[in-house]
Amino acid sequence: MAEESNPIKDYLFDYIKNSQTIPELISKKKFDVVINEIIQHCYDKIILMDKKDVAVGVLATGLLHYLLTNALLNSQRKIECQGIELDIIIPDIKTLEKDPKMALLICIPKYSDKRIIEEKIEQLEKIQPIKENIWIVLSENIKLDKKTFVLSKQDSSFSKIIFEIAQFSNVGGANKFKILRV
């Protein structure tokens, strides 16, 4: 899929590119600090650029893609499987098809309607039968029967997602290089 330009993504990557602190934080693998810094400096601006759920979804997707790349964790983004678009899959679609317990799906809905999110989860469960290997990133806290991360300015659990992904990869053995020790 061709990558379309998006003002939220552009703003995020301009902020990262112009940051004096992010390169050093990345080199020290302080991904939670990077996430918190970006949320503190970008959140208010990006939620004015689109509907809040959409803006937060674009921010979460861009930030996750950037951090997964820098954490040297294999992932695929915006890929289709059995007619369903997947936001992020770790490590890749081949692993999911061959050994679902070694694959993690991260769903980043751009809406807060619990019913619609649960329908999306049902679709994902047809592809990923290991239900605990489906994680959801939300713009607000919604009670779901899944591991969820909230990206918001107050009470953001999203900052821990990279370490939890690394733990998942290291425990499962999918991260052959064990670059990110947790």
Residue-wise pLDDT tens digits, 88-146: 999 999 999 999 999 999 999 999 999 999 999 999 999 999 999 999 999 999 999 99
pLDDT score at 90: 95
Q: 136 - beta bridge partners? A: 107, 148
pTM here?
0.89
DSSP letter at 50 equals: S
pLDDT score at 36: 95
Nearest to 160 by CA among 53, 19, 34: 34
Residue 174 has pLDDT above 90, yes or no: no
b/e 153-172 (16+ beta carbons within 10 angstroms → b): eeebbbbebbeebbebbbeb
Q: Residue 95 and residue 159: Cα distance in Å, rounded?
A: 26
Tokens 């951090």, residue? 67
Q: Residue 160 and residue 76: Cα distance in Å, rounded?
A: 20
**What is the DSSP code string of 113-176?**
-HHHHHHHHHHHHHH---GGGEEEEESS----SSEEEE--SSS--GGGHHHHHHHHHHHHT--T
Residue-wise pLDDT tens digits, 57-75: 999 999 999 999 998 889 9
